[in-house]
Amino acid sequence: MHSTFPATLRADFLRDGFVFLPGFLSPDEVAVVNDHLQMLIRERVPAMPPEVAFYEKADDPSTLKQIQSLYNHDPLFHEMMVGSRFEELASVLLDDAVVGKNMQYFNKPPHIGQPTPAHQDGYYFMLDPNEAVTMWVALEPVDEENGCVRYVRGSRRRGLRPHGRTGVLGFSQGMTDFGTPEDLANEVYFPTQPGDLLVHHSLTIHRADGNASPTRTRKALGFIYYAKRAKEDTARKQAYQQKLAEELRTNAILNR
């Protein structure tokens, strides 16, 4: 199949561990996505269990932090996930057919949105080989004040690093040895506009700032695709997800 993406894109991805595609969604497409999200948040999110929709403060709907598996809740998001430009791009970057695994809504509420700890998605994915991509689409302007994404260039090539518990809602594991001179020397950050797309490899180290703004939110969509050749340790993954769901339910109870 002929690709609509530049031939150099995969080489850039392999070298840096990420690519940046500004304006991947048009302003009209972003507006449609935001309209559907507002409808979903208003009409369906209040009835979702805490392992699907969770909050910085469980008793405050305005602090919604994440919604999991968006493609199961609205036809628009299913169309964006399956047979889409996003899927095609994942296939190009991984040089394989791909399997869509998740589509998420992310937000960092004003002033209380927590930093995302440095981590590698591959630690959560439990794949062999560890070949997957995560995509992140800004739905509003994002900068250093409200929590832009930061990558460690080239870190994909150095494999998985140690991870441990963080206590950060939605990111239970983070790197325990992040912050070496090499990490800091190679870290780059990406202020983004609505519709801009960031894509990173499952072994790329990344993090995001907290939201220090007193008024601005930080809304985005996330997509996860596995390479077809990547095999999942399903028993280990199921045990991890069950433990995470229990932690989310406990957090929701404690924060009421």
- DSSP string for residues in 51-80: TTEEESSTT-GGGEEEE--GGGT-HHHHHH
Q: Residue 20: which of 150, 125, 114, 168 has the closest Cα?
A: 150
> Domains (ranges, CATH) in the chain?
9-116+125-142+194-201+209-254 (2.60.120.620)
Residue 53 pLDDT class (50, 70, 90 cuts)? very high
Cα 136 to the chain's mean position, in Å?
6
Q: Which of 41-45, 84-88, 153-157, 248-252 has the lowest mean pLDDT?
A: 248-252
- Write the burial class of residue 101 (CB in 10 Å: 0-12 exposed, 13-18 middle, 19+ buried): middle
Look at residue 188 in the predicted model and tell me its pLDDT. Answer: 98
Residue 256 pLDDT class (50, 70, 90 cuts)? low
Helix (H) or strand (E) holding 200: strand 197-201
Mean pLDDT, residues 121-127: 93
Neighbours of 185 (CB within 10 A): 9
Whether the predicted pLDDT of 159 surpasses 70: yes
Structure tokens at 146: 């409200």
- For the stretch 69-118, pLDDT in tens is 999 999 999 999 999 999 999 999 999 999 999 999 999 999 888 899 99
pTM for the predicted model, two decimal places: 0.90
